[in-house]
Amino acid sequence: MGRHQDFAALHAARCFVMPNPWDIGSAKMMAHKGAVALATTSAGHAFTLGKPDMGHVSRDEALRHAAEIVAATPLPVNGDLENGYGDAPQTVAETIYLAADAGLSGASIEDTTMQDNPLSYPFDLAVARVAAAARAARDLGRPFIFTARADGVMIGAYDMDEAIARAQAFVAAGADAVYVPMPPDMADIARLCAAVDVPVNALAAGPYLARSVAEFAAAGVRRISLGSAIARATHRLIDDALGAMLVEGGFTPLRDTISAAAVDEIMK
């Protein structure tokens, strides 16, 4: 139970960065560099399967992947479990039980339908889904940080006022932490943090990559995740290198890669 207790304690201690591995090797590298906790990335995992993000990976696939990431290091792992793999509150609750069986120390559930043109669940259904998940998390008999996500700002379904109202309702329904990806600016992140009495997760992506950990902490953020950013940075290198080789006839993007010996040492 040590890693689960450690994860809960981290949320009470300080602002910390929770990077997102997409396979066993990347998890080992992140642990080697000093990460204190990890989180799966639904997009990064989907890419490894040759699939796009959002609703194209099954619950069984996601949980098998999560168990592999848990087994890769001693660190606590939070699961990116999309919308809980179903609309009904009881389905979301079942997903939380299965997440615990996979060894996860926490999980995040979105208020977004997994469709090609995603929508946000109606307010009351979104809250009911959170309440069911929170009850399941409490029923586990061990620490499990359940994070309720309000994704409507990021997908353009609702504004920041609605996101804060949802976050407050999610907390009242039992969420241990809340997450509103990509608010308009840092002032909105600070407003969210002031509006709830549980830890807030922030996403370091887009314009927020120019911000520092200290700035997030000053706004009241307790946890910073990267989503698929590191996985996409890897895919950027693949795209650049193949463009250089196959279009321009050169290999310069590969000049500064890490040595095989260094990677071998990390993977031992």
Tens of pLDDT along 195-209? 999 999 999 999 999
| Mean pLDDT of the residues in the chain | 95
- The CA distance from 148 to 119, in Å, is 16
% of the chain exceeding 90 in pLDDT: 91
Q: Among 224, 192, 188, which residue's Cα sits nearest to residue 205? A: 224
Nearest-angstrom CA–CA distance, 114 and 103: 24
- State the average pLDDT over residues 171-188: 98
Tokens 């890669």 locate to 257
166: left (phi over 0), alpha (psi -120 to 50) or beta: alpha
Give the end-to-end CA distance of the chain in Å, rounded to a whole number.
Answer: 25
Residue 82 amino acid letter: E
DSSP character string of 83-111: T-SSSSHHHHHHHHHHHHHTT-SEEEE-S
Place of tokens 């509006």: 195
More confident residue, 115 or 131: 131
CATH topology of domain 2-228: TIM Barrel (3.20.20)
Q: How confident is the model at residue 1 (pLDDT cuts 50, 70, 90)?
A: low
Residue 64 has pLDDT above 80, yes or no: yes
Residue 158, SS3 per DSSP: coil
Distance CA 58, CA 115 (A): 13
The position carrying tokens 């996500």 is: 149
Q: Are 38 and 27 in contact (CB under 8 A)?
A: yes
CA 208 to chain centre: 16
